[in-house]
Amino acid sequence: MVTKKLLTNGNAFKRTDGRWGGTVWYMDESGERKRKSFSGTTKQEVNKKMTAYIENFNNEIETSIEANKTLKDSMTNWLQVFKFPSVERTTYDRYECTAENQIYPMIGNKIVGNITAADIKKVLNHWMTEGYAYTTVKKVHNILNEYFRYLTQQELINKNPMNAAPMIKKSNFYAIQEKEDLPTSETITVFTAEEIEKLKTEAAKVYGTGKKLYRQAGAYILMLNTGLRAGEMLGIVNSDIDLERRVLHVQRGVKVINKRDGVERSDGSTEVKVGKLKSATSKRDIPLNDTAIKMIEELRQEFYFGEDSPLICDENGNYTKPDIFRRRYHRLLEGAGIESKGLHSLRHTFATNLVNGVKQPDGTIKSLTVKQVADLLGHSTTQVTEMYYVKKDTSMLNGITNDFCL
């Protein structure tokens, strides 16, 4: 990478017309040799002009050198120039949020070239001891790692402090927090059969006028029977649903992004973005069971603005904001007397029940293969489904070996 620099300190000379001239030679950012000319009535005047120019030139170089900037200024510029055009808007919002809340408050005012591995470790250790989740602290490490790798590759700094500041092992992280590092399958939250009945009962409640007590509560029961992500659920339009063939076409998703004027956040508010799904395999067809069809019919009775409108819409037929959808869900759980669980728990419950199966009257278990469930969820691999979505239930195996005596 070429750095703009001075090639001479200026040369004053007397011109043929009796005036004085001067020239300062320098190299620009593209490596091209250029000059700056000056003139005056005396040699002293020209030298004064050249001295002022050289001083200003050096100051500009000094302030432009990345290593001399504060981390906040440098990282903000890196995010806006390199990350904003290349990642999803929601991903960029997360980058920005992590930088502003976990990185800048601690080392944002430090000079980039002075930041050491110890500074990085202090940041990571601080949030760890504050009780933050491993995944949150890992995001901090990932952003810092990517940023400092860029600076090193561009030769803007000589040494990468991240080389001596690895992310702490997950087991050690939780040991320091005095928490157990549970297997992933143990951290999966699902609804019990009793909770599902409570949820369905509460969702069906109506006022004396017949109006639903909870607005569009059928959407959550529909998610429980289809495994849809919240963003996918909100992205479903009525024309995506084929009740005759009992199938739902998942084609788009809804996300919330920060409103911006260019790369700058405009006023701190958010807006709904309707766009592509999480991955290529997320675009899929989901079969509809009797409960799912009933919920769709009930939702259309509440609000219906035509085939091109969202199934879960606001009072004007527009897409519903995910944060509003999430708040309604938690009100429903509270009303049903169910311990708070994330919206994704509906998807986990769907996957868990299909893989673990349902015990039939004759003692056999009716279930789907992990591959079939992965296809229904839109996962690219069965490993994702089995590791992160299915809560093992060995009680279903009770008595299953009775006919296999050896």
Does the model's pTM come out above 0.85?
Answer: no
pLDDT of residue 194: 95
pLDDT of residue 151: 92
365 strand-pairing partners:
359
Q: Which of 40-49, 86-95, 189-198, 253-262 has the lowest mean pLDDT?
A: 253-262
Do 250 and 282 meet the contact criterion of CB atoms below 8 Å apart?
yes
The contacts found for 75-83 with CB under 8 angstroms, 24 or more apart, are 75/99, 75/103, 75/104, 75/108, 75/147, 78/147, 78/150, 80/263, 82/150
Do 373 and 355 meet the contact criterion of CB atoms below 8 Å apart?
yes
Do 358 and 350 meet the contact criterion of CB atoms below 8 Å apart?
no
pLDDT of residue 295: 97
What is the spatial distance between Cα 123 and Cα 140, in angstroms, rounded to a whole number? Answer: 9
pLDDT of residue 184: 64
pLDDT of residue 385: 87
> Other C-beta atoms within 10 Å of 259: how many?
11
Q: Which pLDDT band, with edges at 50, 70 and 90, does 1 fall under?
A: very low
* First and final C-alpha spacing in the chain: 74
Do 271 and 256 meet the contact criterion of CB atoms below 8 Å apart?
yes
What is the phi/psi pair of residue 5, to 5°? -155, 160
Is the pLDDT at 19 greater than 70? The verdict is: yes
Q: What is the DSSP string of 29-98?
A: TTS-EEEEEEEESSHHHHHHHHHHHHHHHHHHHHHH-GGGSBHHHHHHHHIIIIITTTS-HHHHHHHHHH
Do 106 and 121 meet the contact criterion of CB atoms below 8 Å apart?
no
Do 188 and 390 meet the contact criterion of CB atoms below 8 Å apart?
yes
8-state DSSP, 25: E
Please report, as a single letter, which amino acid is at residue 83: K
How many CA atoms does the CB half-sphere of 149 hold within 13 Å? 9
Q: Bigger pLDDT: 208 or 165?
A: 165
Place of tokens 């296809």: 375
Count how many residues are written for the chain: 406
What is the spatial distance between Cα 380 and Cα 283, in angstroms, rounded to a whole number? Answer: 11
Contacts of 220 (CB under 8 A, 6+ apart): 199, 203, 329, 332, 346
Do 328 and 221 meet the contact criterion of CB atoms below 8 Å apart?
no
Provide the mean pLDDT of the chain. 90
Over the stretch 272-296, which tens digit does the pLDDT of each residue have? 888 888 788 899 999 999 999 999 9
What is the spatial distance between Cα 293 and Cα 232, in angstroms, rounded to a whole number? Answer: 17
What is the spatial distance between Cα 330 and Cα 18, in angstroms, rounded to a whole number? Answer: 86
